[in-house]
Structure 1
Amino acid sequence: MEKTLIGALEAGGTKMVCAVGYGDGTVLEQVSMPTTTPEETMEQVAAWFADKDVSALGIGAFGPTAVNPADPRFGQILETPKTAWRYFDMLGSVRDRLNIPCGYDTDVNVACLGEVTFGCAKGLTDVVYLTIGTGVGAGVLSGGHLVHGNMHPEAGHILLVRDPRETLPEGESGCPYHANCLEGLIAGPGVAKRWDGKSAGQMADDAEAMDLLAGYLGQALATFILCYAPQKIIIGGGVADHTPIVQLAREKCAAALNGYIVTPEFADLDSYIVNNSLEGKQGIMGCLELGRRALEA
């Protein structure tokens, strides 16, 4: 019997990645388009999928967004800095145009789902997926289920202790909401603000800069381990992909926990705290799995 086609939409604040594939994670066709106004963008997305004959669609959306089906706002973008998108019904706008079953979650949750279904976390039930780029987001799988509480984890905004070497002025960071959160101190805008507009990749050979960023990441990882008790932590995004901070943060994390966590997983940090394993496709592949689940629901 011919395989069922499933659509995948990785809906980012900068670009929309649309793909068609199968429930086994195979990606047949993929395209990206810029994120502009909600109406224009979603019209283009729906037009691309219109002749693809997909039976279901999985959507991983930028946030904050409402991911609990019991929430009356389910499928809406919430208090985003992209003001035109605030309270836009992303799920409804796609579903109304395509009239097919749709799964909906955050972009980092679907990336986590992709790694758990097809990647280095396959078979695990408790996983944290962290992405570090222009922002920091976290997808959390707990007890085999993606975490949805009153909203979804916003673990990129946990507050940290500033390093005494920090050169950002007190009270300032790359986050408009918090002066001392992980995103503000380690993501692209904070890096650029600290080092004259440079990217993390451009600073990758600066040992002191990498040590500073790794220290912040190590603090955060220690907190995630204590709160979520994951079996594996996977880190993606441009900052993680183009610098050595993941490797450096392992020892920073161990130092922060100071021998308190004694488990087989933590005894092998190289296998416990890792870079992403699906060559940047974890989000799209997670969306395919989300679409497959929507079809079978």
Structure 2
Amino acid sequence: MSSPLFGGIEAGGTKFVCAVGTDPDTLLHETRFPTTTPDETLRRALDFFRAIQRETPLAALGIASFGPIDLHPTSPTYGFITSTPKPGWANTDVVGFFARELGLPIGFDTDVNGAALGEYRWGAAQGLDTFLYLTIGTGIGGGAFVNGRLVHGLLHPEMGHIRLPRDPNRDPFEGICPYHGDCLEGLCSGPALAARWGQNAETLPADHPAWELQAHYLGLALATFICTLSPQRIILGGGVMNAPHLLPLVRTATQQALNGYIHVPAITEQIDAYIVAPGLGNRAGVLGAIALAEQTWKERSSL
């Protein structure tokens, strides 16, 4: 009997990535396209999976979505993207759409929780039971894996919206978050960098003052998460982290923010192995969605 195949959707605010497979070495089909309107984007993803299902049955679909989203199965809006600031996407029933159209079990979680699950299965978090995955890109979000489980709770973690101390004399930029102004996302996301410096992050030279300031804020944020969650490792993904000089700066800034308080070798001596890039690279999200699908299928199969 052949192994079941799973579909995965990394539903990002900028682009959707859809794939079919079982693991990083067995991705049989993959496509990506811009996130436009809900109807156009969801139907484009549906067409991709329908075409595959005509040839090969899928066992389940996993969706790792931008948010905020409703993760509570008993809620009337379970599976919805809820109060997102992305125009046109508030109150979009993502899970219901694919469940009706494909007739498959659906695994659903945040995009960063999905990426965290992918890293746990196949990437930089293998063998750990408590770690943190952060994406620094169009938005900023965090997925927490604590004692072997993804964290949900009241809603789900929104780590991109923690408040940071900002010195207006050093940094007069007031941030771009429509809710909080100078929260972590409002200061450090890709759009925030573009708004502050007048050019996109990928065009900023390595010696630009943007990077020291970026690292300073990210170091403050990571110090907060370390003190709060005590993760065994922190994984930093997202487009902004593609700048090769940024990760070493963030490691140093995190040590400076902690100021010796968390005195363990992982931070004081082995920081290069503690704050790391994703082991799965830019495929962490879609592979995490496939892991969500597999997890859901196994749960259904055991009932």
Identify the TM-score tier after normalising by the shorter chain: over 0.9
CA deviations 1:149-176 (Å, max 9, x no partner) are: 11111001111111442142xxx31212
Question: Could you say which residue in structure 1 is the equivalent of 2:64?
Answer: 60
The one-letter amino acid of 2:31's match is V
The one-letter amino acid of 2:273's match is S
| Unaligned residue ranges in structure 2 (runs of 5+) | none
Question: Could you say which residue in structure 2 is the equivalent of 1:244?
Answer: 245
Query: Which stretch shows the higher mean deviation, 148-157 or 237-246?
Result: 237-246
Question: Could you say which residue in structure 1 is the equivalent of 2:170?
Answer: 165
Q: Distance in 1 between matches of 2:265 and 2:182?
A: 32
The one-letter amino acid of 2:17's match is V
Q: Distance in 1 between matches of 2:209 and 2:157?
A: 31
- Offset of residue 200 of structure 1: 1.7
* 8 A Cα contact 2:13 2:138, kept in partner: no
Question: Could you say which residue in structure 2 is the equivalent of 1:283?
Answer: 285
- Offset of residue 44 of structure 1: 2.2
CA deviations 1:190-217 (Å, max 9, x no partner) are: 1111112x12222242242211110000
* 8 A Cα contact 2:237 2:281, kept in partner: no
* 8 A Cα contact 1:132 1:235, kept in partner: yes
* 8 A Cα contact 1:25 1:285, kept in partner: no
Question: SS at 1:125's partner residue?
Answer: coil
Q: Distance in 1 between matches of 2:102 and 2:86?
A: 25
Q: Distance in 1 between matches of 2:85 and 2:61?
A: 26
Question: Could you say which residue in structure 2 is the equivalent of 1:145?
Answer: 149
Question: SS at 1:247's partner residue?
Answer: helix
- Offset of residue 230 of structure 1: 0.4
The one-letter amino acid of 1:227's match is T
* 8 A Cα contact 1:25 1:288, kept in partner: no
* 8 A Cα contact 2:14 2:138, kept in partner: no
Question: SS at 1:224's partner residue?
Answer: helix
Question: Could you say which residue in structure 2 is the equivalent of 1:199?
Answer: 200
* 8 A Cα contact 1:64 1:79, kept in partner: yes
- Offset of residue 24 of structure 1: 6.6
Question: SS at 1:227's partner residue?
Answer: helix
- Offset of residue 9 of structure 1: 0.7
Question: Could you say which residue in structure 1 is the equivalent of 2:298?
Answer: 296
Q: Does 1:26 align with 2:62?
A: no
Aligned residues: 293
The one-letter amino acid of 2:8's match is A
Q: Does 1:104 align with 2:108?
A: yes
The one-letter amino acid of 1:95's match is A
Question: Could you say which residue in structure 1 is the equivalent of 2:189?
Answer: 187
* 8 A Cα contact 2:116 2:133, kept in partner: yes
* 8 A Cα contact 1:174 1:187, kept in partner: no
* 8 A Cα contact 1:9 1:18, kept in partner: yes
Q: Does 1:82 align with 2:83?
A: no
Q: TM-score, normalised by structure 1?
A: 0.94
Q: Distance in 2 between matches of 1:15 and 1:179?
A: 24
Q: Distance in 1 between matches of 2:240 and 2:111?
A: 17
Q: Distance in 1 between matches of 2:76 and 2:149?
A: 21
Q: Distance in 2 between matches of 1:83 and 1:21?
A: 32
The one-letter amino acid of 2:66's match is F
* 8 A Cα contact 2:176 2:182, kept in partner: no
Question: Could you say which residue in structure 1 is the equivalent of 2:130?
Answer: 126
Question: Could you say which residue in structure 1 is the equivalent of 2:11?
Answer: 11
Consecutive aligned runs of 4 or more in structure 1 exceeding 6 Å deviation: none
Question: Could you say which residue in structure 2 is the equivalent of 1:42?
Answer: 42
Two-structure CA RMSD over aligned residues (Å): 1.5
* 8 A Cα contact 1:167 1:194, kept in partner: no
